[in-house]
Amino acid sequence: MFEALSEKLNGVLQRLSARGRLTEKNVDEGLREIRMALLEADVNFQVARDLIARIRERTLQNDVLKSLTPGQQVVKITNEELTSMLGGGVQRLSPAKSSPSVMLIAGLNGSGKTTTAAKLALHLKQSQQRSVLVAADLQRPAAIDQLETLGKQVDVEVYQNGTSDTTATVARDGVKRAAELDAAWAIVDTAGRFQVDDELMDELMEVRDAVSPAETLLVIDAMTGQDAVRVAAEFHERIGLTGLVLSKLDGDARGGAALSIASTTGLPIKFIGTGERVDALEPFYPDRLASRILGMGDMLTLVEKAQTTFDEQEAVKLEEKIRSATFDLDDFLGQLQQLKKMGPISQVMEMIPGLSGLRGKMGEQEVDENDLGRIEAVIHSMTPEERRRPEIIGGSRRRRIARGSGTSARDVNQLLNQFRQVQKLMRQMTSGKGRSQLMQMMRRQG
C-alpha cells in the first residue's frame, strides 16, 4: 500500500545521506519534498505539518548538523517521529478481570469486519487462548453463514441463535456459551451499515450494555481515505472504542489516512490485516511499519513469521543438506512452498532490508505469485532422478518437462539457472567467509 510513499521518502533521505554535511537550506528542501509526498499519500494535512515541524526542529540542532553522519541522523529522526505519529508503542488486547472477556467487533459494511473476527479468533488460538465467535450480525443475510465457514477454517466454535430477533440477546447468550466452554474470549461480530446512522449506533449501544466488552474494536478499511477518520470519531463518540483494526493494508490505495488515523483520533491501532487469508493478521507495531515505509525492512516480523511457518526439524535437515552439498530440487520446492505460507512474496520482500527499495525497480513479473506456480509445475513434471540430479537434464528432457508442466523450454532453463544460483549462494553462506560477509551486511543494515 505504501510503495509510492516509500519510494519518494527513500529518494529524499538517500540524497540527504549522500551529502557530507547538511545546511539548513538542504534540510528545508528535503523536508518540503517529504511533506509533499505525505500529502500526496493522503496523510492528514495537520498531521503532516506537525510531523515535518518536529523533524525540522530536531534536525537543525547543532549536534545533528555537525555530526560525522548528519544524513543518517536525519533518517533516524524521521524514523522515530514517524513511529510516534503511528502511535508510539505496541498496544495489546486488555482482557477483563474475569473470563470470558468480550471483544465487540464493529465496522461499516465492506470493511472486512466478519473476516477480521475470525482472524482475531485464530490469533488468540495461536497464543493458547480459546475463544468463541458470536454471530450477532442479524442484518446481513449471509453474515452468519460466512462466520460459520470461517469458524470451521480456524477450528473455533461459532455461536448463533436463529430463534432470537434481537442482537443484544444473541450477544448475551453467546457470551454465556463462551463461559460454559471456559473460553478466554467471546468475539461478538455485529452488524454494519453502508454509512453511520442512528439505528446502527443504537443497536451497538444495546449490545455494549448487554455484554460489557473489555475491548471494542472498530474495523477500518485502510483504502477508505480521510473518511475513515470521521467514521472512527463517530463510532468512538457513541460507543466508546478501545482500538482500531486496519484491514486491507495490502491494497493499492495511497494509505495516508491509515498512517494519520492514530494521531487524529487518539485511538491505538491494535492489529493490521495484510491479506484475505485468515492468517493474514498482525499485531500493529508502529516502529516496524515505520521501518518498512522508510525501506529499512522489518526483520523482527519476518523472523516471527518464519518461526510459525518453518518446521524446526526440517530446518535442521535442510542445514545438513546444504553443508553436505546434497540440496536438490525437491528441497528447493519444499522451501518455496514454505515461503508461500509466510504470505505474498511482495510483502516478504518489504520486510528484508534493502529489498523493499529494490522491489519498486523490479517489473511486476519479478514478484508475480504465478511464477511460484510455474516453478512447482516444472519440478512436479520431473522424474525423481532428475530432481536429485538436475545436471542430467538435457534438451529432450527439457522439452518433455515443458510439455508435462504446460510451460516452455525457456521456463525450464530459467528454473535450472535459478536453482544453480541458489546452490552457489548456499555454499557461500555456509562457508566461513560467507558467514562473515552475511554478518557484515546485517551490521550495515542495522
- What's the CA gap between 223 and 257, in Å, rounded? 8
Contact 6, 292 (CB under 8 A): yes
- What's the CA gap between 10 and 75, in Å, rounded? 9
CA atoms lying within 13 Å on the CB side of residue 312: 2
Residue bearing cell 495511497:
254
Domains 101-295 and 300-445 equal at CATH topology level: no
Q: Take residue 95 and report the three cell numbers written for it.
A: 482482557
- What's the CA gap between 414 and 402, in Å, rounded? 12
Q: Are strands 158-159 and 101-107 parallel, antiparallel or unpaired?
A: unpaired
- What's the CA gap between 221 and 227, in Å, rounded? 10
65-70: long-range contacts, CB 8 A cutoff, minimum separation 24: 65/21, 65/22, 65/23, 65/24, 69/17, 70/16, 70/19, 70/21, 70/22
Contact 113, 189 (CB under 8 A): yes
What pLDDT sits at residue 348? 57
What pLDDT sits at residue 311? 59
Angle, alpha carbons 329-330-332 (nearest 5°):
60
Instruction: Determine the topology of domain 101-295 in CATH.
Output: Rossmann fold (3.40.50)
Residue bearing cell 524446526:
312
Angle, alpha carbons 248-111-39 (nearest 5°):
60
Q: Take residue 83 and report the three cell numbers written for it.
A: 513511529
The answer regarding whether domain 3-85 maps to CATH 2.60.120.560 reads no
Domain locations in the chain?
Answer: 3-85, 101-295, 300-445
Question: Could you read off the pLDDT tens digit of each residue along the chain, which spans 446 residues?
Answer: 577 787 888 888 888 877 778 888 888 999 999 999 888 888 888 999 999 999 999 988 877 777 767 777 888 888 889 888 888 778 899 999 999 999 999 999 889 999 999 999 999 999 999 999 999 999 887 899 999 999 999 999 999 987 777 899 999 999 999 999 999 999 999 998 888 888 889 999 999 999 999 999 999 998 887 888 889 999 999 999 999 999 988 766 666 777 788 888 889 999 999 888 898 898 988 888 887 777 665 445 555 555 555 555 665 666 666 666 677 888 777 777 766 666 665 555 555 444 444 444 444 444 455 667 788 889 999 999 999 888 899 889 999 999 999 989 888 988 888 788 777 766 665 555 544 544 444 444 44
The answer regarding whether domain 300-445 maps to CATH 1.10.260.30 reads yes
What pLDDT sits at residue 171? 95
Bridge partners, residue 272, by sequence? 246, 282
Q: Take residue 247 and report the three cell numbers written for it.
A: 484491514
What pLDDT sits at residue 322? 60
